[in-house]
Amino acid sequence: MQFTTQGAKEVVIKGRGKFISRCVDISEVACKRFLENTVDIKNIKIDSEEFQNKEGKSIRVSTIEITLGRK
């Protein structure tokens, strides 16, 4: 929607933990079905975040950022 209604030149899709696969699926569908030949994957950044859970344990969770951009 950002590309079609807002006229965005770049869109960043972010996912964390078990939602990383959904992030990848969304970017692939956007590039190969909805916006075919108009949008490409420009950058992929992977990282991890550390935070405290409810019990006070330190937990590390993987993250991904996929940048889509107009051709």
CATH classification of the domain holding 63: 3.30.110.20
Q: How far is residue 48 CA from its own chain's centroid?
A: 14
12 CB-side CA count, 13 A? 8
Q: What would the mean pLDDT of 20-25 be, rounded to a whole number?
A: 95
Q: What would the mean pLDDT of 24-30 be, rounded to a whole number?
A: 92
Mean pLDDT value across the chain = 89
**pLDDT at residue 35 in the model:** 79
pLDDT tens digits for 37-69?
888 899 999 999 998 988 989 999 999 999 999
Phi/psi region, residue 37 (left: phi>0; alpha: psi -120 to 50; beta: rest), is left
Q: Judge residue 23's burial from the number of C-beta atoms within 10 Å of its C-beta, 0-12 exposed, 13-18 middle, 19 or more buried.
A: middle
Q: Which domain holds residue 34?
A: 2-70
**pLDDT at residue 7 in the model:** 75
Nearest to 63 by CA among 49, 42, 50: 49
71 — pLDDT class (breaks 50, 70, 90): confident
Q: Domain total for the chain?
A: 1
